[in-house]
Amino acid sequence: MARKARKESLNPSVSQVVHVWNRCIRAMSLCGVDPLTKTDREHRRQWSRDRLEHLAGVFAVEILTFAVLHNHTHQVLRSRPDIARQWSPETVARRSLMITPKRDRDGNIIEPTTKQIEAITSKPKLVEKLRLKLSDISYWMQSYAQYIAVRSNREDKQVGHFWESRFKAHVLLDASSVLRCMMYVDLNPIRAGMAESIEESDYTGAKERLDDLRVHLATQGENQISLQLHSGSDSAQWERLDHACSGWLSPVEIDPQDIESAEKSASQEPAGQEAAVTYSSADETLNSQAAKRARRASCRGSIRMSLVKYLWILDLVGRQQKDGGSGFIPAEAVPLLQQLNIEPTGFYESIWLFGRRFKASRFNQLKTEVSENQQQRQPVVAL
């Protein structure tokens, strides 16, 4: 059976939350230490992280979290066409040119010239085409994967494929799936045996946020946030500042002021799609420096859970996996999960088996298609 076309699942004109991942050819450690030649390519993980940060400041796509391992990467993305629709033609042109910007001899980015921008804005159809691309997750992945492949092949003095195939994608349709997927991605280094805890899980969204928290606590500033589980609004506002490590990632906690508008717009979206959130300029004006540098598309947030609570549950799940625990959930965590309509029983297993559930979902889809179209009469083998 032919594989499903990207345009049938990923729609750049509608806001969607999508888990995407891709793997190096033959699952080789092209971003780590080669077990045969002992060549250290660990620095390529920093390439990936820096490339994602650059794209986050250009596209109308938000990164909820990410993980860069030795032979594959994971990203949880949210497209924001509602933001792209509000950009002026000049903004669309400039951002499009900044996807692959020119650089000087020192490696510094050269800003697009007025002439280059006018060459695009003089063509309205081209502007609208580029506007749609700037909220297209497929185009995002092309811009990311091609950059890493070309740079890596140049360093290795090789030609040919760097990634084994096109990227994989799975649309997340509800808040519980988003939470599970974010935790699955953040805990990937522990699952792969690369780290003992989230504190050691380098090149993940959780580690970036944790590093900023450590700096905040070490500075002992006047506006110290509370790290208690009952803390909420103080950490939500803190996340929206322009932090050095995680300032380009989407905040974890959804702004309480946006929840009502999100629920209202959800009833107006087509079935099976993530509700588009009306973009407010207040998102970018929360911090003028962040708005000027445009490190992220907005400060919308990801889930109805504070950063402190998210990291706490993430640490619990990670330690259970590493220690081979039974999956016991403390009483303090139960209300947090029930708030997102998540059944505490089996929560740990649902995270560690999240990738396998994708295959199970695809198997059920294939089984239904075969039954309805009567294209095959032999039993379908599970993937």
The model's pLDDT over 320-366, given as tens digits with 9 standing for 90+, comes to 776 665 556 777 777 778 777 787 777 877 887 787 665 444 434 43
Cα 183 from Cα 351, distance rounded (Å): 7
Look at residue 265 in the predicted model and tell me its pLDDT. Answer: 52
Beta strand pairing call for 17-23 and 72-79: antiparallel
In the predicted structure, residue 228 carries a pLDDT above the cut 80: no
Other Cβ atoms within 10 Å of 233 Cβ, number: 13
Task: For the chain, give the longest Cα–Cα distance.
Answer: 69
Give the model's confidence band at 232: pLDDT under 50 very low, under 70 low, under 90 confident, else very high.
Answer: low
Give the model's confidence band at 21: pLDDT under 50 very low, under 70 low, under 90 confident, else very high.
Answer: very high
| Most confident option among 25-34, 101-110, 353-362 | 101-110
Look at residue 326 in the predicted model and tell me its pLDDT. Answer: 55
* Residue ranges of domains in the chain: 6-87+134-352, 358-383
Report the DSSP beta bridge partners of residue 333. Answer: none
What CATH code would you report for 6-87+134-352?
A: 3.30.70.1290
Q: Kindly report the CA angle at 84 between 95 and 263, in degrees rounded to 5?
A: 145
Look at residue 371 in the predicted model and tell me its pLDDT. Answer: 46
Look at residue 185 in the predicted model and tell me its pLDDT. Answer: 96
Cα 231 from Cα 22, distance rounded (Å): 36
Look at residue 364 in the predicted model and tell me its pLDDT. Answer: 47
In the predicted structure, residue 277 carries a pLDDT above the cut 50: no
Cα 134 from Cα 137, distance rounded (Å): 8
Asked if 295 and 56 count as a contact pair (C-beta separation under 8 A), the reply is yes
